[in-house]
């Protein structure tokens, strides 16, 4: 109940606070998307994380296995943490589930996320075992320093320059930065899939910063099936459900439906282009995106 109350509060803020600037609206809309994603995924599919699943050959690609694939992704991250690391800052920590796994393994973990709603879930999950910064990474201010800073599918949302500068400053001597995220490849054509910093820009900027590459693992092949699953859910569940709901509402309140459709016409068109496009497949993902685990060490 508390979850739904917070969600309605956020939706009200998003639609009716006219003075909100475009950037804040975009950030809030992303956070609301994550809240809805978490509520539905957790309730229907037992999902605890907000990242993609990591599909190994032995795991059938099926939506009911998504929570297992997500755990495998978390295990991949944990298995790549250097031995000397004891303290970690998880930037864009989502639901804090990976942080619970890390704390259970003996790491000292602090969490950072701008989402008030998700941070409340984390407080329930971790209690006083973790310090939670409710902030964007760009705005973080702290005297604390860490052995490793983790970006688990959150790097794409943060300005690269700011990420690299802050990470350098918040790391201990010879500390590590672990990024596991999507990047946009430099290929011809336009993709229906959004997300990820441009790979070439990331390479340019990281080469100007004092970080040394320690490990690079391409996991595009193991993450691409998430796109096929999402596409399947959209085409076979979400789309037909919306159409059926619209048909029913239209037959009962045709004028109200027309007014609502007109009021939200731009948003509806945007959502249609973004989610109802048949090109949102694993093949498309492999063509336009690179999903990588990258481990860097700070050069002092």
Ligand X SMILES: C[S@@+](CC[C@H](N)C(=O)[O-])C[C@H]1O[C@@H](n2cnc3c(N)ncnc32)[C@H](O)[C@@H]1O
Nearest to 284 by CA among 234, 239, 227, 223: 227
CA atoms within 13 A on the CB side of 279: 13
Residue number with CB closer to ligand X (112 or 230): 112
CA distance 73 to 270: 30
Residue number with CB closer to ligand X (23 or 266): 23
Residue number with CB closer to ligand X (21 or 188): 21
Place of tokens 């303290």: 87
Give 79-136 as a DSSP string: HTS-TT--EEEEET-TTSHHHHHHHHTT-EEEEEES-HHHHHHHHHHHGGGS-EEES-
Instruction: Report the nearest approach of ligand X to the CB of residue 80 (Å).
Output: 14
| Inter-helix orientation angle 254-263/239-252, to 10° | 130
Instruction: Report the nearest approach of ligand X to the CB of residue 93 (Å).
Output: 5
CA 110 to chain centre: 18
CA distance 112 to 140: 9
Instruction: Report the nearest approach of ligand X to the CB of residue 101 (Å).
Output: 11
Instruction: Report the nearest approach of ligand X to the CB of residue 147 (Å).
Output: 18
Instruction: Report the nearest approach of ligand X to the CB of residue 210 (Å).
Output: 22
Instruction: Report the nearest approach of ligand X to the CB of residue 48 (Å).
Output: 8
Instruction: Report the nearest approach of ligand X to the CB of residue 190 (Å).
Output: 23
Residue number with CB closer to ligand X (158 or 227): 158
Residue number with CB closer to ligand X (68 or 268): 68
Residue number with CB closer to ligand X (76 or 242): 76
* DSSP run (H or E) holding 240: helix 239-252
Residue number with CB closer to ligand X (96 or 175): 96
SS3 280: coil
Nearest to 147 by CA among 83, 86, 79: 86
**How many helical (H) and strand (E) elements, i.e. helices and strands, does the chain have?**
13, 8
Q: Token digits for 300? A: 């002092």
Q: Which residues bind ligand X (CB under 6 A)?
A: 31, 34, 49-51, 91-94, 98, 112-115, 136-138, 152-154, 157-158
Place of tokens 């989610």: 275
Strand segments (E) across the chain: 87-91, 108-113, 132-134, 146-152, 171-184, 197-198, 211-218, 289-298
Residue number with CB closer to ligand X (136 or 250): 136
């Amino acid at each position: 109940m508390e979850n739904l109350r917070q969600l309605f509060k956020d939706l009200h803020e998003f639609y009716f606070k006219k003075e909100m600037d475009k950037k804040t609206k975009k950030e809030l809309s992303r956070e609301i998307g994550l809240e809805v994603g978490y509520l539905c995924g957790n309730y229907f599919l037992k999902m605890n994380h907000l990242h993609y699943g990591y599909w190994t050959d032995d795991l059938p690609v099926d939506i009911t296995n998504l929570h297992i694939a997500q755990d495998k992704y978390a295990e991949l991250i944990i298995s790549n943490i250097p031995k000397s690391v004891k303290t970690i800052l998880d930037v864009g920590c989502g639901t804090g589930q990976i942080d619970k796994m890390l704390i259970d393994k003996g790491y000292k973990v602090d969490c950072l996320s701008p989402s008030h709603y998700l941070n409340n879930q984390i407080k329930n999950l971790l209690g006083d075992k973790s310090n939670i910064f409710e902030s964007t990474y760009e705005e973080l201010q702290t005297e604390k320093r860490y052995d490793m800073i983790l970006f688990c599918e959150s790097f794409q949302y943060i300005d690269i320059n700011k990420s690299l500068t802050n990470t350098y400053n918040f790391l201990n001597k010879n500390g590590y930065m672990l990024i596991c995220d999507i990047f946009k490849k430099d290929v011809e054509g336009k993709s229906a899939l959004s997300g990820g910093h441009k790979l070439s820009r990331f390479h340019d900027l990281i080469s100007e910063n004092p970080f040394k590459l320690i490990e690079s693992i391409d996991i595009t092949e193991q993450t691409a099936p998430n796109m096929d699953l999402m596409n399947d859910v959209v085409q076979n569940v979400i789309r037909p459900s919306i159409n059926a709901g619209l048909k029913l509402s239209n037959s009962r309140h045709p004028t109200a439906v027309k007014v609502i459709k007109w009021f939200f016409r731009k948003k509806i068109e945007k959502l249609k282009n973004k989610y109802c496009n048949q090109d949102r497949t694993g093949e498309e993902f492999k063509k336009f995106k690179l999903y990588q685990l990258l481990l860097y060490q700070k050069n002092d």
